[in-house]
Structure 1
Amino acid sequence: MTGAPDTPAGERAHFAALESLYAAAPINKLFASRLEIPEAGVTRIHFDVDERFYHAAGAAHGTIYFKMLDDAAFYAANSLVSDRFVLTTAFNLLLTRPIKAGPAVAEGRWVSGRRRVLVADARLLDSTGEEVSRGTGTFMRSHFPLSSLPGYASASAPKG
């Protein structure tokens, strides 16, 4: 696999650096959340839905659905690419139930592709574990080296 870590320690370092990159993204000052990458191609984003994200009818606006599902699928794909930042090229979203205030989790999973284009999907679970939305995205390698991005670079730098 092009750009993939060769060792379990290298893979874990890549995941930790991606988690750091996620935490450093300015958008996450607006949407407090925590990325977890337990294994290649699998992610979880933990966050709380609160009334700041509600539309006029008293449930979460689609913005929160899209943001968390796109991020979960994106990082599932980028967990398989250790040299470049990937970019979302398309994302299809299915909203099945309203989500109310409380803890929520977006789970991402790589589906296919490893060279130029990757496909990953995600599902959003409410505080009871009920699926409220799902989405599928396509992602392409960009020209941005991961090592050039401040959140990634600082986490992947050798300690000592």
Structure 2
Amino acid sequence: MQRDGVDPDAAGEDAHFRALESLYARAPINRFFDSTLEIPERGFARIHFTIDERHYHAGGAAHGTSYFKMLDDAAFYAANSLVTDRFLLTTAFNLLLTRPLKVGPVVAEGRWISGKRRVFVADARLIDAEGEEAARGTGTFMRSRIPLAGLPGYRSSDRPGG
């Protein structure tokens, strides 16, 4: 039911998406990656990040850890956008690396595929600066016992303007 032109379900969903974005930004691992998460809609997440030479292996391209981290995060947040009470955990993730990533901007796009109760499946892909797909992955995520509301960054008091 709308009140004052605002759909309370949509407003709550938007608040959940902004809280997940804040949670991502506060994660200690992200101090190593110049990246930003956006969740524009249920079941979809996008991460903008930059590869630089700190991410390289000895062969002069991004190490697989960068691929995994961004694919897993994009798929994870796409799935967790559907869950408002619990933090999900990755239980499995399969990768296909198809192109080396060099210095420059990259986008990870994650999409929820299936699952609505305990186990969720989502996939993700990496798009390089030339618009080419560099990798893709599919993950399985399970509800944990960790309440989202108790995590630093997710609580409204931890967010700017909260």
TM-score (norm 1): 0.93
Cα distance in structure 1, aligned partners of 2:61 and 2:94: 21
Instruction: Tell me the alpha carbon deviations over residues 61-83 of structure 1, each in whole angstroms, 9 at most, x when there is no partner.
Output: 00000000000000000000000
- Distance in 1 of aligned mates of 2:155 and 2:114: 27
Instruction: Note the alpha carbon deviations across 1:32-68, whole angstroms, 9 max, x for none.
Output: 2100000000010000000110111100000000000
Deviation at 1:121, TM superposition (A): 0.2
Displaced runs of 4 or more, over 2 A = 154-157
What amino acid does structure 1 have at the position aligned with 2:23?
L
Contact 1:17 1:155 in 2 (8 A): no
The one-character-per-residue Cα deviations of 1:111-134 (angstroms, maximum 9, x if unpaired) are: 000100000000001001100000
Match of 1:58 among 42, 57, 60: 60
Structure 1 unaligned residues grouped into runs of 5+: 1-5
User: Whose radius of gyration is greater, 1 or 2?
Assistant: 2
How many equivalent residue pairs? 154
Pairing 1:20-99 to 2, within 5 Å after superposition: 20-99=22-101
| TM-align CA RMSD | 1.4
Q: CA deviation at 1:154?
A: 3.3
Aligned residue type for 1:126: D
Q: What percentage of residue pairs aligned between the two structures are identical?
A: 74
Tell me, in whole angstroms, the C-alpha distance in 2 between the residues paired with 1:156 and 1:19: 12
Is residue 43–residue 111 contact of structure 2 (8 Å, CA) maintained in 1? yes
Contact (CA 8 Å) 1:21, 1:151: kept in 2 or not?
Answer: yes
**Alignment CA distance shift 1:16-1:143 (3 Å):** same
